[in-house]
Amino acid sequence: MDINGISAIVTGGASGIGEACARALAARGAKVLIADVNDEKGNALATEIGGAFAHVDVTNTQDIIAAVEAAGEMGPLRALVNSAGIGAASRTIGKDGSYDSAFNLDYWRKVIDINLTGTFDFIRIAATAMSRTEPLEGGERGAIVNMASVAAFDGQIGQAAYSASKGAVVGMTLPIARDLAVVGIRVNTVAPGLIDTPIYGEGEGSEAFKANLSKDVLFPKRLGYSSELASMVLQLVENSYMNAQTIRVDGGARLGPK
């Protein structure tokens, strides 16, 4: 699919992996709408890449609809990259044997709401808009790329909520691709491994921590670059024969229990 001149939405696009994806799409000529809750970084990046910014909480359907409508004004909406997400570790039970110290269900619901339900809500709204566009050669109307994680397969201690949310994103990839095939929309998922983003901080301590993480990576023996992950996302958008797949981008890493 030729993405020059189309509009594309990247959720969580103000920083990290989402930012790299937004830059990659813009470099190919797409008009990118960055959907994020970070107004300052989102607006600055949108200005830099010639796109637009929309303040979007992915748990708010009206925010999603507004973003999709805004993207449609920039050009035919043909690409969606779902990169918004959260994650933090918490064990299923506490150390003191009390019910109160067990995994906080409010936190569980928050992770599922953002990582899973937010992803699906954006898909159903954006795909509806894509279905109204004129089909390209071969009947193609658009491409959706979701962001899962290798934690969907190799969930570590404390990652029950995060792994559940990302595993569900993997699990819904095929049925949604089957749903949307009738209108010419492809759906794929990327499962990133250990990617070097600002979340790890800076300085000697940060570098030592990242070096320790790299022990699980086969080759190259380092964390991945956001640009490497973005190149896979770009391929999944542009390659019209890629559909219903989940692809690990992890340097061959298989995560241990902790």
> pLDDT of 13-54, one tens digit each?
999 999 999 999 999 999 999 999 999 999 999 999 999 999
Is there a domain that residue 256 lies in? no
Is there a domain that residue 59 lies in? yes
Amino acid at 118: G
Is the N-terminal amide bond of 257 cis, ω within 30° of 0? no
Is there a domain that residue 51 lies in? yes
Could you tell me which residues come within 8 angstroms of residue 175 by beta carbon, excluding any fewer than 6 positions away?
none
Is the pLDDT at 202 greater than 80, yes or no?
A: no
What percent of the chain is modeled with pLDDT above 70? Answer: 99
Q: What is the pTM of this model?
A: 0.96
Is there a domain that residue 82 lies in? yes
Q: Which residue in 162, 200, 225, 241 is the catalytic one?
A: 162
Confidence at residue 178, expressed as pLDDT on a 0 to 100 scale: 98
For the stretch 57-93, pLDDT in tens is: 999 999 999 999 999 999 999 999 999 999 888 999 9
Is the pLDDT at 205 greater than 80, yes or no?
A: no
Is there a domain that residue 169 lies in? yes
The pLDDT confidence band at residue 213, using thresholds 50, 70 and 90, is: confident
The token pair at 12 is: 């969580």
Quote the domain boundaries for residue 156. 7-249
Is there a domain that residue 2 lies in? no
Is the pLDDT at 219 greater than 80, yes or no?
A: yes
Amino acid at 145: V
Q: What is the CATH number of the domain that holds 140?
A: 3.40.50.720
Number of domain units in the chain: 1
Is there a domain that residue 163 lies in? yes
The token pair at 37 is: 């809750």
Confidence at residue 200, expressed as pLDDT on a 0 to 100 scale: 67
Is there a domain that residue 239 lies in? yes
- Whether 162 is a known active-site residue: answer yes
The pLDDT confidence band at residue 199, using thresholds 50, 70 and 90, is: low
